[in-house]
Structure 1
Amino acid sequence: MDFKLSPDEISFARGVRAFLEEEAQHPDAHDFMDPDRDCHSQLANSPERRAFCRRMAKRGYLGMSWPKSYGGQEIPGIYEYLLNEELALRGAPLIGKGVGCIGKTIIRHGSEEMKRQFLPMILDAETEFALGYSEPGAGSDLASLKLRAEPDGDGWVLNGQKVWTTSANFAEWYWVAARTDPDAPKHKGISVFLLPMNTPGLTVRKIDTLGHHLTNEVFFDNVRVGPGALVGELNKGWTYVCEALDFERFTFYTVNPLLQKFERALEALRGRTRNGHPLSEDIGVRRAVGKLAAEIETAKMLQRRVVDSAAKGGVPAIEAAMYKVFATRLQQVVTDFVLDHLGPTGLLRKGAPGAVDGGVWEHFYQTTPLDTIGGGTSEVQKNIIARRHLGLPLA
């Protein structure tokens, strides 16, 4: 795999950096550019962040790899990767679920009416989506979902519950997996629906989690949708869910923040002493730093395999699973390493007197576990690798 950037790709990345330099002068830049915000920095969950996304759309940065017939530019996925890496470095909203998950799935499987309705809105950054997958009894084992969609005239009535639905508190549309054939094998009786978040009978309840991350549970009480809400074919939803999750892992899990965090970790430890001696002279610390540096390089190569597969038109399911399980765990390892060597001051929160690096490492300690869950838990990723790549049987 040759991952040297072409002159055009280098020029594109420079153009993105120039755009972001301009945006950094915006009066609201402190809101839509925040590298310390972690998981929330990916979301267009405020008026300022949504306005930023619309400005990205006007620059032609959304849907670049889409077919021209649907408003895209038909350029390789490497450009979306380069865009997201630059956005992630700034802590700005990424191109997100609309372009990477929902848009590409609609292009592959949606009706012509659905394409006409949603694809222009996605390209113009005029709407936001929430993904309705997990349920109280169907998280890692997503195919066990119980949300029912029963035929009602020419439409459907949905009853049940979803949980851990990030974006449900501000999104306009809900991409929902529901069981449409309770008698079929659990992977075969699932369909996907796309419905407005303000549909009668839909109730959103907020859930606060670690690191000040906000997610939601959503209740369906006789929620009726028309026939146009069905995505693709009836009972083919498991295929669409898997594809959308694969696109999500590629879109959301950039590597630059990990590289940036490692450099920040080294900076936090420089100049610190133990028993009167610099930590940099401690053989145990030096070995640990060397091991982390090697693992950072491994993460870079795993991410580049994802990009290589996506750039060739594939759905990088196995590559994305490998990268996600490795890189999200490495985020935790780097954070733990820093806190172990900072001592008590490393545990001080943001704003506390004497906190190292503004208290960001305590914040990272809270937020890094979230990445091992979103987009499919580490256990799910290991199952994907075991089954699809290694050919191991189900337990």
Structure 2
Amino acid sequence: MPRILTDERRDLVTAIGDFCRRECGPERQRNNGEPQHDQEVYEKMAELGWLGIAIPEAYGGAGLGMTDLCLFLEETSYWRAPVSGFGTTIIAAAGYEKFATDEQKNVVLNGVVNGRVEAISMSEPGAGSDVGALICRAERTTGGYLVNGQKTWCSNAHLADHVLLIARTAQEDSKHRGLTQFMVPTDVDGLQIKGIDTMGGREVNDLYFTDCFLPDSAVVGTPGQAWAQLMTGLNLERMILAAMMLGVARRAFDDTLAYVKQREQFGRPIGSFQALKHRIADLATELECARLLLDDVTATIDANPGEVFARETSMAKLKCTELAKHMTLEGMQMMGGYGYATEYGMESLHRASIVSTVYGGTSEIQRDIIGKTHGL
């Protein structure tokens, strides 16, 4: 089914493809264990106005909605553009836009439009899916707070100008109370950022805070209300990850299809054998279902600003991330040894897809949320 796009969105899709073919050659697209963020490419996108796609016009952005943002994320992921810093940047930017002071907004949102990277830090060694269990403390002191503790799995902190930190400022009856958000410059005294080696390279980090002083002006929003503030951003985070993984799934499908059409065994293209033909048909159908779901949810969000669609966004995140993981595995299987080889890039797509069912709320958490919306 052809995708129905406005002229402006169709032009954006075409422009992203042209840019990536020109600026992000095949070697960069494969990202075989190399850093997945190229600041030079990122800043060129900033010059084109793309990084401000969802930033309000008052701060130099385009002020567009979820549909346009997800289309941009999907296309840059499809083309394997080395701009991995954008996802966390736009998540953090949304938090600043809703709750930050004018001064904080001017620094962060204008920076995003001009190609700066931002990060957000919630997880700790003992607080992953259960974010409310975090224990990193920010204790009141003269003129501000002293932060002590460890955060982990912080994506892009090593690239970011600031980390939007969630820390405990008070011990309340409920674990979801007494949490506060802070704008933390990554070069502040008392903060050590240490990369974590993963199968996808070094995108995530441990953060160690040792008597790290943050002035009162570093507080983002209302002290003690970080949990409520975080809940307003769930739509965005889930949709960002869904869109990125839909792009990965599309790329894996297209690369697999091209391979089975070209590769010959037993005197004929392997895609002509019924076993592979039927697998391709099933994958094509699943891809179309995921795309239709994502398009429907983005349109619903844009038509109802301010509302939280927990079920729908969880469905989109669950479907697109699980499909990307399945699609890349199927691609590796159908490509045989070449799917395992870095030369062809399918293994890189698979590495990119695996973590997507974990970060931003695991698939199990998404299923739990969906189940609760049905009264279970």
Common fold: TM-score over 0.5: yes
Matched-pair identity in %:
26
TM-score by length of 2: 0.86
User: Which deviates more from structure 2 when the two are superposed, residues 9-18 or residues 205-214?
Assistant: 9-18
Residue number in structure 2 paired with 1:106: 96
The 1-side partners of 2:263 and 2:301 are apart by 43
User: Which deviates more from structure 2 when the two are superposed, residues 69-78 or residues 136-145?
Assistant: 69-78
Decide which of 287, 290, 295 is 1:296's aligned counterpart.
287
- Give how far 1:332 is off: 1.8
User: Which deviates more from structure 2 when the two are superposed, residues 254-263 or residues 165-174?
Assistant: 254-263
Residue number in structure 2 paired with 1:353: none
Residue number in structure 1 paired with 2:219: 230
- Give how far 1:379 is off: 2.0
- 5+ residue gaps, structure 2, are none
C-alpha spacing 1:323/1:16, structure 2 compared with 1 (3 Å): closer
- Give how far 1:345 is off: 4.3
Decide which of 58, 79, 98 is 1:90's aligned counterpart.
79
Residue number in structure 2 paired with 1:309: 300
Structure 1 position 194 matched with structure 2 position 183: yes
- Give how far 1:12 is off: 4.0
- Give how far 1:202 is off: 0.6
- Give how far 1:200 is off: 0.9
The 1-side partners of 2:17 and 2:323 are apart by 28
C-alpha spacing 1:105/1:329, structure 2 compared with 1 (3 Å): same
- 5+ residue gaps, structure 1, are 351-357
The 2-side partners of 1:94 and 1:315 are apart by 26
Q: What is the correspondence of 1:160-309 to structure 2 with a 5 Å cutoff?
A: 160-254=149-243, 255-272=246-263, 279-309=270-300
Q: CA contact under 8 A between 1:202 and 1:219: conserved in structure 2? A: yes
The 2-side partners of 1:144 and 1:210 are apart by 27
The 2-side partners of 1:304 and 1:39 are apart by 31
Residue number in structure 2 paired with 1:130: 119
The 2-side partners of 1:101 and 1:22 are apart by 24
Q: Counterpart amino acid of 1:259?
A: R
- Give a deviation string over 1:136-183, Cα, whole Å, max 9, x none: 111111111111111112311111111111211221101111112223
Structure 1 position 391 matched with structure 2 position 375: yes
- Give how far 1:256 is off: 3.2
Secondary structure at 1:137 match in 2: coil
Structure 1 position 37 matched with structure 2 position 31: yes
Q: CA contact under 8 A between 1:38 and 1:367: conserved in structure 2? A: no
Q: CA contact under 8 A between 2:135 and 2:168: conserved in structure 1? A: yes
Q: CA contact under 8 A between 1:265 and 1:334: conserved in structure 2? A: no
User: Which deviates more from structure 2 when the two are superposed, residues 210-219 or residues 247-256?
Assistant: 247-256
Decide which of 382, 385, 388 is 2:367's aligned counterpart.
382
Residue number in structure 1 paired with 2:327: 334
Secondary structure at 1:218 match in 2: strand
C-alpha spacing 1:107/1:346, structure 2 compared with 1 (3 Å): closer
- Give how far 1:231 is off: 1.0
Q: Counterpart amino acid of 1:54?
A: A
Residue number in structure 2 paired with 1:148: 137
The 1-side partners of 2:32 and 2:170 are apart by 39
Q: Counterpart amino acid of 2:279?
A: A
C-alpha spacing 1:22/1:101, structure 2 compared with 1 (3 Å): closer
